[in-house]
Structure 1
Amino acid sequence: MKAYKDVLDLASILGLKGFKENIDALIQEAEAQKISYLSFLQKILLSEVSDRAKKRLHRNFTGARLPVEKQFKTYKFERVEGITQKDIANLVDCSWLDRHENILLFGPPGIGKTHIAIALGMNCLAKGYTVCFERVTNLMRLLKMAGIQKSAEFRLNRIMKANLIIIDEIGYTPIDRKEANMFFNLVSEVYEKSSIIITSNKSFENWAEMLGDQVMTTALLDRLLHHAKIFNMNGDSYRLPKKIKKEESSQK
């Protein structure tokens, strides 16, 4: 049918990929229900909007580069002090993201700081926000390579434009003076434009020693803390009991 082919060609010109993929089902439904031209047009547009939303969500999840998927429902709040289910309930609407507020998660290894950070990231993605996750070691590599490696520059540009930047494991590995300055510049650049989630095993008092510059650290913390929700978490490690149990099982 010429009309059918013309419709497909016009859809291609207009970039209506969702409509092209669903055209047969839409036509069959319209014929079966004998709907009006206006209702048919409405279904076409709704189909296109839905398709674009699904593809955008998929792109955002892929671009976030979350290492794993984590949900709040699998987090054992009863094992940890310093953060509660009520705290999380106050964050799931993402209004803090609209206000460009930061979330800082402090505590010893193994208590689920990264779990909470990823779950918050997934919640924001599901609501249509853009998210980028990087461990601090890889973030430093990107900052160093951005001027000489296209892929690093592309990734860093995406990070700078994200609604939410998750920086994981600050304090677990040494940071030299040059890296500290680059990190400060990044935080300054996105200050009051994006939200940042940071996980760290180092309290504020130890950041000057970690970054090697008291003045720069003060300026950095001033930007991070200006609009921030801080959670000082404490409790037993999740991973250690699992490791002990695994070793005990292997010895039997």
Structure 2
Amino acid sequence: MTTKRRGMTEEAADAAIDQACRMLRMPTIRNSFTDYADRARREQMSYRGFLAELLLAECDDRARRRSERRIKAAKVPPREVPAGLRLRRQPQHRSRRDPHPRQVRMGPEGTAAVSDRGLRHRQVHLLIALGTEAAMAGYRVKYTLATQLANELVEAADEMTLAKTIARYGRVDLLCIDELGYMQLDRRGAELLFQVLTEREEKASVAIASNESFGGWTKTFTDPRLCAAIVDRLTFGGTILETGTDSYRLAQATKQRTT
């Protein structure tokens, strides 16, 4: 049974709206409905138009909060994009594309690269941009350093939680692995990393940032057969971006000294 409400004062209406928004979990409408109501009166909006504005504002704000939660969960580090970094200054840029790429690998650290939206990044900024854009688009993303991931897997194996940890990394839509090739991984950590890549093979995407060519990965993965297997997992059906060999930071420092 509903109760008819007639002759409600503005103060009572405001209180009722506030209470209803709390019950329905609509914080955006609760915080801004008076501003929207004043604007609707000034612009002589229809009831339907006023209601549409309120609901769209709530939907937009919820989408924004979801994106923020996904980015926070992805643990993508904030990075400042260097001003003036452009793709066209790197003629060596090449890409090998597949209609449905599963992996992306980026070339030497400090060199220029660009995302599909035209944002100017160095290699590491491109990896972070890919992760951030994917999270904002609604995908589950996880960013990690190669050594950090290997250590986490070794600890999980020691604590008898390896299967659970691998499954957790297998569920994300995009796994971003940074700094692969900087440090040598012990055989156990490398084998466990291989298990994660195998778990994701043909099912989800991996983005790798490395300052080494594939030939140099034997310094990270000391077992040649394991190294070849990992390269095979990453390159099959993937996209490879080689961003050149000239360091953007070195070029900028040289330019500053010259000028």
| TM score, norm. by length of structure 2 | 0.72
Q: Which piece of structure 1 moves more, 139-148 or 2-11? A: 139-148
Residues 130 and 162, structure 1, Cα contact 8 Å, conserved in 2:
yes
Q: Does 1:38 align with 2:14?
A: no
Q: Distance in 2 between matches of 1:201 and 1:186?
A: 21
Q: What residue is the counterpart of 1:110 in the other structure?
A: 110
Residue from 42, 49, 71 that aligns with 2:59: 49
1:161-240 equivalences under 5 Å are 161-208=171-218, 210-240=220-250
Structure 1 residue 11 displacement after superposition? 1.7
Give the AA of the match of 1:184.
F
Q: What residue is the counterpart of 1:28 in the other structure?
A: 38
**Closer, same or farther: CA 217–119 of 1 in aligned 2, 3 Å:** same
Structure 1 residue 165 displacement after superposition? 2.1
Q: Distance in 1 between matches of 2:80 and 2:201?
A: 27
Q: What residue is the counterpart of 2:102 in the other structure?
A: 101
**Closer, same or farther: CA 110–73 of 1 in aligned 2, 3 Å:** closer
User: Sequence identity of aligned pairs in percent?
Assistant: 27
Q: What residue is the counterpart of 1:75 in the other structure?
A: 85
Q: List runs of 5+ in structure 2 lacking aligned partners.
A: 1-10, 112-121
Give the AA of the match of 1:36.
S
**Closer, same or farther: CA 231–35 of 1 in aligned 2, 3 Å:** closer
Q: List runs of 5+ in structure 1 lacking aligned partners.
A: none
**Closer, same or farther: CA 68–75 of 1 in aligned 2, 3 Å:** farther
Give the AA of the match of 1:162.
V
Q: Deviations over 1:125-177 (max 9, x none)?
A: 454444332221222233344576x9xx99x94x5443322211111101011
Give the AA of the match of 2:107.
F
Residue from 144, 153, 166 that aligns with 1:143: 153
Q: Distance in 2 between matches of 1:236 and 1:217?
A: 26
Residues 76 and 143, structure 2, Cα contact 8 Å, conserved in 1:
yes
SS at match of 2:220: helix
SS at match of 1:68: coil
Residues 71 and 119, structure 1, Cα contact 8 Å, conserved in 2:
no
Q: What residue is the counterpart of 2:75 in the other structure?
A: 65
Residues 134 and 140, structure 2, Cα contact 8 Å, conserved in 1:
yes
Q: Distance in 1 between matches of 2:136 and 2:244?
A: 29
Structure 1 residue 20 displacement after superposition? 1.3
Q: Deviations over 1:172-229 (max 9, x none)?
A: 1010111112211221222233321111233323435632334443433332122211
Give the AA of the match of 2:24.
L
Q: Distance in 2 between matches of 1:164 and 1:144?
A: 22
Give the AA of the match of 1:131.
V
Q: Distance in 2 between matches of 1:5 and 1:239?
A: 58
**Closer, same or farther: CA 232–33 of 1 in aligned 2, 3 Å:** closer
Q: What residue is the counterpart of 2:7 in the other structure?
A: none
Give the AA of the match of 2:106.
L
